[in-house]
Amino acid sequence: MGFSAFPPRPTNEAALATIDVWSRRADAAIIHNSVPYQALLSGTNAATYVNTVDLPLANIYKAKGLQLAITVDVTDGLNRAAEDPALVALKRSIAEPAVQLAYRQYVQALVSAIRPEYLGLAAETNLIRGQAPAAVYSAMVQMTNAAASDVKALGGKQPVLYASVQADFAWGPPPAAYKGVEQDFRDFPFVQAIAISSYPYFVYPDPDQIPLDYYTRLAAGRTLPILVVEGGWTSASVGQIQSSAAKQARYVRRHEKLLDSAKAVAVFQLTFTDLDLSSLQVPPGSNLPLFASLGFVDANLSPKAVLATHDSVFMRPLKK
């Protein structure tokens, strides 16, 4: 169980303070990175970038004895219909061989320098297939499969590979028909674990409405290990979403049952804290406010009702 270093405010001090609090109630950590396209395409060596930017954070986690997962996100994490904002600004695309090569070199550098236990080569692939242009999805399939071969060729300690899928999109809002993720298993045959993104408050008004087979149904009988690599439930009402601190705490208890049902090996939430939106440059029309209140503490690191529920789950004995 663990979190990422994503801070309530965009400062190193806030990130370190955040890690200090959540690392006491976690045994793993996740790094969820966009590909640093701008740096890599302007001539920065991938190994130099990783050693300067990513390795110091990984070393903090390792010094705390935390297992490490890394997800490399190849498109726009807040808008799966679009490519990464850095590529859009450069008027480039992952359909270009040079951009795909930069991604592959970045993945190789991450593995060589950090050697994480788990490595995601793309995020929310089924959502990208459903929302992005076909050429973008096709390019993602090509570059991730090539990167998987690159990683295996490196030898040494091998991470468990995955490409995450979006559970809420796979199920669809009721009464939409269940779509599943069978296409993802065909397109990403390198996956060694079923990695899941899940923000079910976009689909269900109450946590207890989430089906107990929400994760196991995605596996469709496969025996691959299941882990949740991002997700959560907002404690605030935003737009059409009606929620509360108490409902968020009930979600974590319901989520415990979903994870038990799936015999999940790990669960990560990217944001341990709420986000101080006033400190961020939020573009007009951004959906970031919908994710701003997922934290187990507020933006000043004060506990929310959900924290005690999380702690009670974390204190359960590990099963060998």
Q: Are 139 and 94 in contact (CB under 8 A)?
A: yes
Identify whether 247 is part of a domain.
Answer: no
Q: Name the band, by pLDDT with cuts 50, 70 and 90, for residue 320.
A: low
**Structural contact between residues 126 and 163, judged by C-beta atoms closer than 8 angstroms:** no
In a domain, 237, yes or no: no
| Residue 29 within any structural domain of the chain | yes
Range of the domain at 114: 2-231+258-272
- Whether 43 maps to a domain, the answer reads yes
Please indicate, yes or no, if residue 104 is contained in any of the structural domains.
Answer: yes
Q: How many Å apart are CA 15 and CA 21, to the nearest integer?
A: 10
Q: What is the pTM of this model?
A: 0.96
Give tens-digit pLDDT for 43-65: 999 999 999 999 999 999 999 99
Per-residue 3-state assignment (H helix, E strand, C coil) for 99-158: HHHHHHHHHHHHHHHHCCCEEECCCCHHHHHHHCCHHHHHHHHHHHHHHHHHHHHHCCCC
Contacts of 148 by beta carbon, 8 Å cutoff, 6+ apart: 121, 161, 190
Number of domains in the chain: 1
pLDDT in tens, 166-186: 999 999 877 788 999 999 999
To the nearest whole number, what is the mean pLDDT of the chain? 96
Classify residue 314: in a domain, yes or no: no
The CATH number of residue 71's host domain is: 3.20.20.80
What pLDDT sits at residue 69? 98
Does residue 253 belong to any structural domain of this protein?
A: no
Instruction: Tell me which of 84-98, 261-275, 305-319 is least confident.
Output: 305-319
Which pLDDT value is given to residue 86? 96
Size (the chain), residues:
320
